[in-house]
């Protein structure tokens, strides 16, 4: 076989492998959407779930998913940015830094069900937060923080050190250089990582089953007092999310239309995650253009 033929063969094999991946992804997406979308209606998206009879919706679960996501991001993003800046810009190369990095890597490879059980033992039982949005958000933080931190650190590291030297040589302090030179340039990467992380969190079930709970008490969407148990804003109420709902229906659902509800919820979930990915891409590109050619 001459080099040209070998090249052709290799190209062919690579195309086939790539093709298989695309076919799997497309058929999975197609199947879920095909099965689920017919059940998705405005009523389905807004009405509460029903336990025994048909016709229940996913309104509360959908709201819970977004609210939990928001809280988890509010907690984890500032910590991740701080930790990422520390690791990329300030940490010296020594054993403490290595230890932190190794810990982050181990944390990020923990199975989410383990994170969930940890959250159950620590937040739910030890700190007596019960099954609540707060417990769930904290568990999701544990689950999400390592990856976000890693993403912030990597994004900052991708900015060439000559950019930092440029800032320092002009008499700017290290902090000013980081804040005004490095972060703006790294922002597109950071944002993309955040949104992808959000997608992961949005679809997470195992970490939430034992922390945010598996029940979705009825909410009164006219009550915005965060201390009232019926208020959607209350962070101490149990809150079953969309992903947990799907898991629950499939494992113990007794509604006559359980399969349909599950399919519809899955379609909604996948669409939301897809949306996150597209938004991440779009926002990343837009920001990059804005930051570099403003």
Partner 1 sequence: MDNYSLDDIFIRDFDRKTQEIAVETEDLRVFYGDNEAIHGVSLPFERYKITSLIGASGSGKSTFLRSINRMNDNIDGTRVTGKIMYRDVDINSDNVDIYEMRKHIGMVFQRPNPFAKSIYDNITFAPKRFGEHDKQKLDEMVETSLKQAALWDQVKDDLHQSGLSLSGGQAQRLCIARAIAMQPDILLLDEPASALDPISTSTVEETLMTLKDQYTIIIVTHNMQQAARISDYTAFFYSGKALEYDETRKIFTRPKIKATEDYVSGHFG
Q: Would you count residue 128 as binding partner 1 (CB under 8 A)?
A: no
Candidate residues 3, 126, 128, 171; the one interacting with partner 1 per rule CB under 8 A: 171
Q: Does 286 bind partner 1 (CB under 8 A)?
A: no
Q: Decide: is 176 part of the binding site for partner 1 (CB under 8 A).
A: yes
Longest dimension (CA), the chain: 76
Task: List the one residue out of 239, 158, 234 whose CA is nearest residue 192.
Answer: 158
The three-point CA angle 265-270-272 to 5° equals: 95
Residues in 133-162 at the binding interface with partner 1, rule: CB under 8 A: 160, 162
Binder among 121, 166, 274, 278 for partner 1 (CB under 8 A): 166
Sign for the CA dihedral angle at 22, 25, 31, 36 comes to negative
CA-based nearest residue to 61, from 275, 198, 261: 261
Contacts of residue 211, Cβ cutoff 8 Å, sequence gap at least 6: 116, 119, 120, 123, 124, 131, 132, 135, 136, 138, 139
Q: How many residues does the chain have?
A: 294
Judged by beta carbon, residue 177 or residue 266, the one nearer partner 1 is: 177
181 belongs to the binding site for partner 1 (CB under 8 A): yes
- Interface with partner 1, residue 93, by CB under 8 A: yes
103 versus 173: smaller Cβ distance to partner 1: 173
* Nearer to partner 1 among residue 227 and residue 293 (C-beta): 293
Q: Does 29 participate in binding partner 1 (rule CB under 8 A)?
A: no
What DSSP string runs through 156-224? HHTS-HHHHHHHHHTT--HHHHIIIIIHHHHHHHHHHHHHHHHHHHHT--HHHHTTT-S------TT--
- Cβ at position 195, least distance to partner 1 in Å: 21
Q: How far is the CB of 163 from partner 1 (least distance, A)?
A: 6
What is d(CA 30, CA 124) in angstroms, rounded to the nearest whole number?
Answer: 38
CA distance 75 to 137: 8
The footprint of partner 1 on this chain (CB under 8 A) covers a number of residues equal to 25
Instruction: Report the C-alpha gap between 96 and 225 in whole angstroms.
Output: 45
Q: How near is the Cβ of 156 to partner 1 at its closest, in Å?
A: 14
Residue 168 near partner 1 by CB under 8 A: yes
Q: Does 180 bind partner 1 (CB under 8 A)?
A: yes
Shortest gap between Cβ of 87 and partner 1 (angstroms)?
14
Shortest separation between residue 167's beta carbon and partner 1, angstroms: 8
Residue that the structure tokens 């799997």 belong to:
24
CB of 67 to partner 1, least distance (A): 36
Question: In degrees, to the nearest 5, what angle opens at C-alpha 280 toward C-alphas 174 and 288?
Answer: 45
As given in the structure block, the two tokens for residue 34 are 């095909």
Q: Is 172 in the site for partner 1 (CB under 8 A)?
A: yes
Residue (96 or 274) nearer to partner 1, CB: 96
Q: Output the smallest distance, CB 290 to partner 1, in A.
A: 11
Among 98, 105, 165, 220, binds partner 1 (CB under 8 A): 165
Q: Smallest distance, Å, CB 188 to partner 1?
A: 10
- List residues binding partner 1 (CB under 8 A): 92-93, 160, 162-174, 176, 180-181, 184-185, 291-294
């Amino acid at each position: 076989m001459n080099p040209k033929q070998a090249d052709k063969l290799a190209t062919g094999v690579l195309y086939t492998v790539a093709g298989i991946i695309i076919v799997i992804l497309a058929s999975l997406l197609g199947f879920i959407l095909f099965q689920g979308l017919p059940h998705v209606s405005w009523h389905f998206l807004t009405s509460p779930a029903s336990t025994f009879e048909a016709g229940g919706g996913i309104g509360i679960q959908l709201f819970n998913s977004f609210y939990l996501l928001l809280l988890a991001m509010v907690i984890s993003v500032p910590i991740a940015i701080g930790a990422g800046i520390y690791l990329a810009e300030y940490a010296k190369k020594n054993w403490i830094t290595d230890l932190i990095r190794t810990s982050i890597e181990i944390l990020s490879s923990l199975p989410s069900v383990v994170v969930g059980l940890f959250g159950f033992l620590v937040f739910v039982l030890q700190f007596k937060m019960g099954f609540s949005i707060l417990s769930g958000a904290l568990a999701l933080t544990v689950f999400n923080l390592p990856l976000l931190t890693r993403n912030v650190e990597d994004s900052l590291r991708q900015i060439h050190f000559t950019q930092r030297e440029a800032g320092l040589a002009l008499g700017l302090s290290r902090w000013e250089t980081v804040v005004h030179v490095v972060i703006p340039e790294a922002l597109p990467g950071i944002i993309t990582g955040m949104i992808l992380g959000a997608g992961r969190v949005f679809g997470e079930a195992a970490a939430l089953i034992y922390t945010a709970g598996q029940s979705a008490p009825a909410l009164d969407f006219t009550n915005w007092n965060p201390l009232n148990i019926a208020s959607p804003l209350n962070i101490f109420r149990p809150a079953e999310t969309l992903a947990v709902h799907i898991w629950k229906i499939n494992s113990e659902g007794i509604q006559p239309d359980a399969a349909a509800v599950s399919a519809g919820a899955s379609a909604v979930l996948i669409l939301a995650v897809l949306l996150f990915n597209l938004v991440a891409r779009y926002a990343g590109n837009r920001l990059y253009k804005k930051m570099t050619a403003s």
